[in-house]
């Protein structure tokens, strides 16, 4: 297999098929690092099977940690929401990008320094936890500027304050650069869009802490003490790439933004270790994908290969749809190598109901 470099500078093996596991993932790993929106809940409501699956994983001894790029809410607020949904959680079970960026700032400025905050209460609480002092104006002589998602009511003037300070040479930090954020009415601009406003005004580049970058992974490991962590997410470019950069295994669940077509086209850093429909995948083993490019890749009752003309993925057999998808992943990723797969997967996915 080819080698790929992760965000920590270490090389990674280029994944060409999903892995199998002879034991339940909740037993093979000591800690699940769970994304929230699209994994545990959607539109504020629990996703089907999530509550029962998490309860069973926790009862079996797996530590559950909830990891979010959203810097607006405090860990206590996130934990309260989870508890309301039927997933008991404490503030210490929640790790946010606000906490990751606060640590990043604290490592570069003296304790007690003022930090200009462009965002919400989650950022302010995280900064105080690190002995830093949140301020509201560029004229308050801040030692750093930090941006995090501030919600739809964040005044436009806050971006001007950030721009004034950054233009003066004040170090600039961002909790994350997700361009969008899902909500009950649809997709809204995320913190990354707000960061772009200041970038355009100043020409500067922020230091970023959130997923998929390593400061967020480091924060999560420090706070959870995980020794065998499993990242669980629905986004290839944040959750799965974050696991890749951290050098740990990942489980993609298909309850959020990633559909099977995107999964098949994934570049190496976006290829998960395991694939399952939802969080019930934590409670089971994972089937092996066997075979070769020459003979086809098999999983369950399915065999996936590349058409003789080399322009499409082909699927033969019958069985569980997820097994067919896992076999298709092997065919697609093997053919693509270190690139994104561009083969036509339409007919193969249609056979599986996608």
**Catalytic annotation present for 37:** yes
pLDDT digits (tens, 9 = 90+) for 266-322: 999 999 999 999 999 999 999 999 999 999 999 999 999 999 888 999 999 999 999
Beta bridge partners of 65: 33
User: Which pLDDT belongs to residue 182?
Assistant: 76
User: Which pLDDT belongs to residue 75?
Assistant: 97
User: Which pLDDT belongs to residue 12?
Assistant: 63
If pLDDT is split at 50, 70 and 90, which confidence band does 3 have? Answer: very low
Q: Span 64-86, mean pLDDT? A: 96
243-to-84, 96, 224 alpha-carbon distances in Å: 28, 16, 15
- Whether the per-residue pLDDT at 7 is higher than 50: the answer is no
- Whether the per-residue pLDDT at 70 is higher than 50: the answer is yes
178: left (phi over 0), alpha (psi -120 to 50) or beta: beta
- Whether the per-residue pLDDT at 9 is higher than 70: the answer is no
83-to-34, 45, 66, 78, 88 alpha-carbon distances in Å: 15, 12, 12, 9, 4
What is the C-alpha separation between 230 and 256, in angstroms, rounded? 18
Q: Span 138-159, mean pLDDT? A: 96
Q: How far is C-alpha 22 from the geometric centre of its chain's CA atoms? A: 25
Q: Span 241-261, mean pLDDT? A: 96
In the set 8, 30, 35, 93, the catalytic residue is: 35
- Whether the per-residue pLDDT at 188 is higher than 80: the answer is yes
E-assigned strand segments in 192-277: 207-208, 229-233, 249-253, 274-276
Q: How does DSSP classify residue 237?
A: I
User: Which pLDDT belongs to residue 2?
Assistant: 44
In the set 37, 93, 249, 323, the catalytic residue is: 37
Q: Span 192-204, mean pLDDT? A: 98
User: Which pLDDT belongs to residue 183?
Assistant: 75
Q: Which of 2-16, 101-115, 274-288 has the lowest mean pLDDT?
A: 2-16
User: Which pLDDT belongs to residue 203?
Assistant: 98
| φ/ψ of residue 124, rounded to 5 | -65, -45
Q: Which of 100-109, 120-129, 228-237, 303-312 has the lowest mean pLDDT?
A: 303-312
**Token pair listed for 236:** 């290839």
pLDDT digits (tens, 9 = 90+) for 294-310: 999 999 999 999 998 88
The label of the residue with tokens 């490019």 reads 293
- Whether the per-residue pLDDT at 6 is higher than 50: the answer is no
User: Which pLDDT belongs to residue 109?
Assistant: 98
- Whether the per-residue pLDDT at 1 is higher than 50: the answer is no
Q: Span 142-155, mean pLDDT? A: 96
What is the C-alpha separation between 81 and 242, in angstroms, rounded? 25
Q: What is the share, in percent, of the chain residues with pLDDT greater than 70? A: 97
User: Which pLDDT belongs to residue 11?
Assistant: 56
């Amino acid at each position: 297999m080819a080698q790929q470099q992760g965000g920590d500078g270490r090389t990674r093996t280029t994944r060409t098929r999903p892995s199998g596991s002879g034991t339940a993932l909740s037993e093979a790993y000591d800690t699940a690092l769970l994304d929230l929106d699209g994994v545990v809940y959607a539109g504020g409501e629990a996703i089907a099977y999530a509550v029962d699956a998490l309860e069973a994983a926790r009862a079996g001894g797996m530590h559950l940690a909830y990891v979010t790029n959203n810097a607006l809410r405090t860990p206590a607020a996130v934990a309260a929401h989870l508890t309301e949904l039927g997933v008991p959680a404490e503030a210490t079970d929640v790790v946010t990008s606000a906490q990751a960026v606060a640590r990043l700032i604290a490592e570069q400025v003296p304790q007690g320094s003022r930090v200009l905050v462009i965002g919400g209460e989650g950022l302010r609480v995280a900064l105080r936890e690190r002995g830093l002092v949140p301020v509201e104006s560029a004229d308050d002589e801040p030692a750093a500027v930090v941006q995090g998602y501030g919600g739809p009511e964040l005044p436009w003037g806050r971006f001007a304050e950030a721009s004034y300070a950054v233009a003066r040479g004040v170090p600039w930090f961002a909790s994350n650069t997700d361009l969008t954020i899902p909500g009950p009415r649809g997709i809204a601009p995320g913190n990354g869009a707000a960061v772009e406003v200041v970038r355009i005004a100043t020409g500067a580049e922020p230091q970023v802490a959130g997923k998929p970058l390593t400061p967020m992974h480091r924060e999560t490991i420090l706070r959870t003490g995980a020794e065998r962590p499993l990242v669980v997410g629905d986004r290839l470019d944040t959750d799965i790439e974050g696991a890749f950069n951290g050098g740990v295994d990942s489980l993609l669940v298909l309850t959020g933004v990633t559909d099977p077509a995107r999964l098949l086209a994934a570049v190496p850093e976006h290829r998960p270790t395991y694939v399952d429909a939802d969080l019930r995948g934590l409670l089971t083993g994972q089937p092996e994908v066997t075979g070769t490019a020459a003979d086809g890749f098999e999983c369950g009752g399915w065999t996936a290969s590349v058409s003789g003309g080399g322009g499409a993925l082909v699927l033969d057999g019958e069985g569980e749809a997820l097994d067919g998808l896992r076999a298709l992943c092997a065919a697609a990723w093997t053919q693509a190598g270190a690139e994104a797969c561009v083969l036509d997967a339409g007919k193969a996915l249609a056979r599986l109901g996608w």
